[in-house]
Amino acid sequence: MAQASNYNLDQKFDFTAPVKKVIFFLGGLGAVLLLIGIIAAAFGGHHGAGEEGGHAFHWTKRLYANLWINNVYFTGIAIIGVFFFAIQYAAQAGWSTALLRIMISFGNWLPIAAVLMLATFFIANHDLFHWTHSYIFDINDPQYDRIIDGKGNFFYWPMEKGSFPIFYIVRMVLFFGFWIFFFNKLKNLSLEEDINGGTSYWYTIRKWSAIFLVFFAVSSSVSAWDWVLSIDTHWFSTLFGWYVFASWFVAGLSAITLVTIFLKDQGYLEMVNQNHIHDLGKFVFAFSIFWTYIWFSQFLLIYYANIPEESVYFIERLSSDVYGPYIFVNIVLNFVLPFLVLMTRDAKRHNIFLKLVCTLIIFGHWVDFFLMVQPGTLGHNGGLGLMEVGMLLVYGAAFAFVALSNLSKKNLVPKNHPMLEESYHHHI
C-alpha cells in the first residue's frame, strides 16, 4: 500500500444540493429551449421543403437527427473515459493515479447510451439512414441505387437486403455489450483493490485493459462507419474511423479536465497539483492538433484528387448557407483557439484558461458531429437553433448527473494503487 499519510485516502465526493441545482437548471433550461424549438418547427411552417423520393420534410426528422448527434457524441465521451483509464494501466503510468476514478466514472453513461441508441434507431432509422429504405434495393424500382445495393450486405447480412438490418443491429449490441462489460470489469477490479490491496489487482487490470484496447481499436472505427459514415451512404473515407476517434478523444479529455478542476475547486483531490493539471492541458493541446491533422489530411486528399464521389461530401457543406459557416466555427473552436491559448506552459497550468478552452472544445466537437450528421439527414432543412442547443443541454446535464452521482458513491482515489505515491510526487 502506498504511504501517503498526509492525505485523506478515504475521501468521497459529496454531490451537494447546490451542484445538483445547477445541473437541473441547465437540464431544465435545455428542456425549455428544446420544447420551444419543437413548437417553432411544428407550427412554423417548416414542412414543405421536398426531399429525394418525393417525401415532404417533417419537423420530427430534425428532432431525430438531434437525438442521433447527441447519442453518438456522448457515447463517445463515455467510452473515452474508459479508454483513457485503460491507457494508464497499459502504459504503466503513475502520474495519473489520483485521476483514475474520474475517468472511469464516465463509463456509467454507457448503459443509458445503449438504450437511447437502440431506441432511436428503431424509431427513426428511415429518417436517419437512406439505406434502410427497401425500394433502393429493388432493381425494378425507379429509385433503385446500385451503389447502396452493393453495400447492402454490410447492413443486412444474412437477411435479405432491405428487410431487417440484423448485421447492423448485432454490431451495435455487441459493441455496447462488450464496452459495458469491460467498463464494469475494470471498475470493479479497481474498487476491489481498495478493499484488499496488493499488487495483483494492478496486474489484472493491466491485462484486462490491454484486451479492451484491442477491442476498442476495432469497435470504435466500425461504430464510426455504422453510426456516422453510413448516413452519407455513397461517400467513403479511409480516415473516417480515426477522425471520429480524434473528435471523441479531445472532447473526452476536455471533460476529464473540467471535472478534475471542478473537484479541485470544491476542495477535493488535495494530492492533485498543477503538474497534473499541466499534463491534462498538454493532452488537450496535443490531441487538438492531432484532430486538426486528421481533419486536414482527409480534406486535402479529397480536395487534391477532386473525385466527384469523394468531394461531394465537402461541397455539400462548404457551399451551403446552412452549414458553411459552421465549418469555420469548427476549425476555430477545435484548433485555432486551443492552439493559441494553450501554447504556453503557464496557460496549461492556470484553471481559468483550461475552463474556458475545454468548455468551448466540448461545444466545438459537438459542432463537429453536427456537421457529420445533419447535412446527410436533413439537407438544407437543418441548422443550429433552439432545438439543437436545448438537446445538447439536456444530454450534457444528464451525462454530468450520471457521472457525478456515481463518482460520489466510492472513494475518489484508488487508495491501494501501487503507483499512488508516484502520483503524489508528480512534478514536471
Whether residues 215 and 284 share a domain: the answer is yes
Cα distance between residue 291 and residue 289, in whole Å: 5
Whether residues 85 and 146 share a domain: the answer is no
pLDDT at 47 exceeding the cut of 80: no
* Boundary-marking domain end, from 117, 146, 164: 164
Number of domains comprising the chain = 2
Whether residues 160 and 261 share a domain: the answer is no
Check residues 249 and 423 and name the one with the higher pLDDT.
249
Render pLDDT for 358-382 as a digit per residue (tens, 0 to 9).
Answer: 999 999 999 999 999 999 999 888 8
pLDDT at 49 exceeding the cut of 50: no
CA distances from 129 to 58, 77, 254, 290 (A): 15, 23, 30, 29
What pLDDT was estimated at residue 56? Answer: 63
pLDDT band per the 50, 70, 90 thresholds, residue 334: very high
CA distances from 193 to 108, 399, 414, 421 (A): 19, 27, 8, 16
Cα distance between residue 28 and residue 35, in whole Å: 10
What percentage of the chain reaches a pLDDT higher than 90? 69
Residues 81, 104 contacting (CB under 8 angstroms)? yes
- Residue 195: inside a domain, yes or no? yes
Give me the domain span that covers residue 299. Answer: 17-45+56-129+165-424
CA distances from 107 to 43, 153, 189, 313 (A): 39, 32, 14, 33
What pLDDT was estimated at residue 4? Answer: 53
pLDDT band per the 50, 70, 90 thresholds, residue 263: very high
Whether residues 157 and 250 share a domain: the answer is no
Q: Which residue has the cell 456516422?
A: 228
- Residue 4: inside a domain, yes or no? no
pLDDT band per the 50, 70, 90 thresholds, residue 180: very high
Whether residues 181 and 241 share a domain: the answer is yes
Whether residues 269 and 358 share a domain: the answer is yes
Cis omega (within 30 of 0) for bond into 158: yes
Cα distance between residue 194 and residue 256, in whole Å: 22
Average pLDDT over residues 11-20: 92
- Residue 11: inside a domain, yes or no? no
What percentage of the chain reaches a pLDDT higher than 70? 96
- Residue 51: inside a domain, yes or no? no
What's the whole-model pTM score?
0.93
pLDDT band per the 50, 70, 90 thresholds, residue 53: very low
Does residue 383 come out as left (phi exceeding 0), alpha (psi in the -120 to 50 range) or beta? left
Whether residues 144 and 203 share a domain: the answer is no
List, in sequence order, the alpha helices (H) in 306-407: 308-318, 324-331, 337-341, 351-378, 386-407
Whether residues 155 and 249 share a domain: the answer is no
Q: Which three three-digit cell numbers place residue 410?
A: 466510492
Decide: residue 51, CB within 10 A, 0-12 exposed, 13-18 middle, 19+ buried: middle
Whether residues 226 and 136 share a domain: the answer is no
* Boundary-marking domain end, from 103, 138, 164: 164
- Residue 5: inside a domain, yes or no? no
pLDDT at 396 exceeding the cut of 70: yes
Distance of CA 427 to the CA centre of its chain: 30
Check residues 227 and 48 and name the one with the higher pLDDT.
227
- Residue 6: inside a domain, yes or no? no
pLDDT at 46 exceeding the cut of 60: no
- Residue 31: inside a domain, yes or no? yes
Whether residues 273 and 396 share a domain: the answer is yes
- Residue 3: inside a domain, yes or no? no
